[in-house]
Structure 1
Amino acid sequence: MALLTAPARAGNRRLPRPLREAELQRLRSLDRTGLMESGDEERFDRLTRRARALFGVSAASISLVADDHQYLKSVMGSLTRVIPRDASFCSVAIEGETDLIVTDTLEHPRFRSNAFVVQAPFIRFYAGVPLRGPGGWFIGSMCILDTAPRTLSTLDLRLLRNLAVEAELEINAAS
């Protein structure tokens, strides 16, 4: 599966040249993992199962963000495996290159009208930690989601980050 398209876009929007080059490098990093084509893998599923149980959320996932879509490499809960990038919370997480915590999606200007907020699965809470692939590029995220607003304690965030570190180790072991 070729992940690279020309010109590079993020969520189907054309990027300025420096960002286009960075996006191409990011997509090459994702491609090098071979994970978009490898199907379900227990090594990732055990992490999302643990996250869902640990936080008591309706869903947990490890996402990979391609050019125009997000693929859930592992998902526990009722989420669609393939999501358009422009509707993806995880795409926003990797663009910011930092944890993305949205305590109530209906109160967040960027997400309040998102299709996954206003209709099934009715996401109200999102917490995602960006995951680095080969070369240090952000290629996806470890995230937890719920149908009710909530907050994360400092300890909760540390636990989610620890799961993300484990996910990164698995991602980079494959490449």
Structure 2
Amino acid sequence: MTAASKGLTHLDAGGQAEMVDVGGKADTQRTAIAAGAVKMKRETLQVILEGNAKKGDVIAVSRLAGIMAAKKTHDLIPLCHPLALTKIAVEIDPDETLPGLRVEAMARLTGKTGVEMEALTAASIACLTIYDMAKALDKAMVISDIRLIEKTGGKSGHWRADDTDDGSASG
């Protein structure tokens, strides 16, 4: 059985990596939402929320970094298609229960392939930027819970994670 027959779309019949040809697929509106979190000391969160981090506005810069990263996903992940994104949104909210910041990124387009990787890249880079901008205060911050929350469009339709999803489900 070849890798392609097992459902691995980025491998040819000989098992070599290749970019999938999406030319024959129909354009549909596609949306993906991804999330992540940065856990930190309460004092670090307070400094960020007060706007007193030495590197500047952690939340604003991290939001922009996530948006910029989504637009560069195809440059970072070898087999991703360059996409004409129509919307990228990155929200960063404090969560005292972590304590830390929760990130949610949404990517949207009308096209032939999904935007899950763009949303995941946006969330990941926003989290990394939070770490970078606040590491002088708290080197022990933990980036966690990077995951796809929801996707719509394309042949597979709508999918949403539920609270029991642990990342091991297929489909």
Tell me if both proteins adopt one fold, taking TM over 0.5 as the criterion: no
Structure of greater relative contact order (alpha carbons < 8 Å, 6+ residues apart): 2
Q: With the length of structure 1 as denominator, give the TM-score of the two structures.
A: 0.29
Which TM-score applies when normalising by structure 2?
0.29
Q: Which has the higher helix share?
A: 1
